[in-house]
Amino acid sequence: MLNKKSILVTGGTGSFGKAFVRQVLKQYPDIQRLVIFSRDELKQYEMSLVFNDKEFPGIRYFIGDIRDERRLRRALEGIDYVVHAAALKQVPAAEYNPFECIKTNVLGTQNLIEACLDTNVKRVVALSTDKAAAPINLYGATKLCSDKLVVAANNIRGDRDIRFSIVRYGNVMGSRGSVIPFFQDMRKTGTLPITDENMTRFNISLQDGVEMVIWALEQALGGEIFVPKIPSYRITDLAEAIGPECEHKLVGIRPGEKVHEEMITESDSMNTLDLGRYFAILPSGDERLRATYMKQEGVKPVPVGFTYNSGDNPDFLSVESLRELIDTHVVETGALGAAQ
């Protein structure tokens, strides 16, 4: 589906963006254009050393900020598909700088929606987070707002051939600023800080996240929030997997942090369908979209009151499984240079 098409990735120099670009160039060699839209010229330069326009003629690097709607419109000319990965994501930074987070995650998303509606874009898939479900921190609240904007954009598309959908998943293994590279750095000190011994998190590899976004680009009907069925891990097991010789020091939960993460709330259950590999949270009251999905083989509604929580998840990673996944995914795809 992506061959002969033009794709733009906002936040394209991040961990997801680099993995997405790598996979798309490998899987779709006839892609027409792949535009990396981001603010940081240094990161674009470093990325261009790996993905250059001589080896990959369709690659483009476009400096811009999603806060700048005019720049977005210029970048979106001739673009068929958009993957929206740009966001301010650090929970403590968002708590301290709330409106900066709002300007990027909420106003920036609306800028993108408006620009896509005006430039003949056909598909938009936005990346969400488990923190957007029943948020208790500002980052999660801005992502919930962003999700609502993207879903509601389908209401104003008119007769345009455009679909807006969302992919929501948990912590990406080895992504910048996440707990795994943090623990790997702290291991050198002999002490790993543990916020809460009961803490759990969902886990997904960059590769699985990329494959899910590509699947959504091809399969989404518009308005869905897709949630993958992925395993959880206990923070104490992760610490054991990374630094078995290290002391664990309890430091307490940070502002805006949950003990367990949730991706589907009890309130969402009435609008959630089980698609097999993924769940789909549908817009409330959209009976036409629900009926379309229910015609597909194997699709069924989840029970009323169902929740999808990292603490209650039936699928937990063991210490050994975590070590194997870290060896496979963090070393190979966690940093730009590691996968060359």
- The whole-angstrom separation of Cα 274 and Cα 296 is 11
Q: Mark whether 131 is an active-site residue.
A: yes
Q: Is 305 left (phi over 0), alpha (psi -120 to 50) or beta?
A: left
* Partner residues linked to 59 by β-bridges: 34
Q: Name the active-site residue from 18, 43, 131, 258.
A: 131
Please give the positions annotated as active site.
131
